[in-house]
Structure 1
């Protein structure tokens, strides 16, 4: 799906303000883990549950107690308990504080379940609001280790579809619709995407992009290893 210009390496991670906040939660954290599934399925954990599972996982890897992590992050123990049980209301400041305390990238605490093909509609994207300003961050996808991501702006009009041959093995494409709408066909299935939707699929398979409205634009991120 790449345009004909030479791609430039790019890091798509977005910075966010640091800080912390206190919210009330339960007194004891559960060690249960959340189960990933296709977006919108009945068994998919909520964004809070996904974050709770990630915090428990990373704290366990670090070999520290809930109280110690709360101390390092500068947040209350009740806040920490609420986050680990999925009952708290995490802000971007709180999550940055936890990531810093654990010495890990923020994305490791926010990364959504990964599927070979996934379509997430704009209204379903979980975000982390700021307590300091009118600002919210949403992680769409975290880059795997030792990968390269190139970013393209696509402009397309209705008419002849754009057919793309398979890219090198392991290539993954990510699409975020900016305006209009489009249909993407891959692995024998057809997906319609609209403004704000996020779609990912294996770029090492034949795929087709068809603009459905005049003035269709999209951001394409091509991930290769």
Structure 2
């Protein structure tokens, strides 16, 4: 079984799933490029396993296909799964300042996914609005998260949590000098 424990396996899973989803929906690379905003050449490279897509690119593809973020990373399931969280290969924004660990990716029989996230000092991760009904639940384990929602800013310190409707612009930012560690549950309603 392919797993999320190394970057090559993760990219292989993404490659296979993207190609499968595109063919199931009878989309050409041009069609998918048009609905996702990701170039045809980049999509082709991802499907062939020649490119390591960034978190932003994966979000664009998922939004265009109207699927959850981690549907692209789904693997076979078992009755019990024990995961050492940081043995999961992280997705990044192109640098190591933002790391997203898809601990429990979305699966069709569930409406949620669980992600561990690390933001280095000064890191920022912006996200476009998700589909209506999507909510994000964030539990901050260390550091202090600055969360931008449309025109409001929330400060979420260590030991606190926040829930919000994710069908609006949102941005995670680390204004401190220490790494922020948090857990995010994304519910697709």
Q: TM-score, normalised by structure 2?
A: 0.49
Q: Normalized per residue, which structure has more strand?
A: 2
Question: Larger helix proportion, structure 1 or 2?
Answer: 2
TM normalised by structure 1 equals 0.42
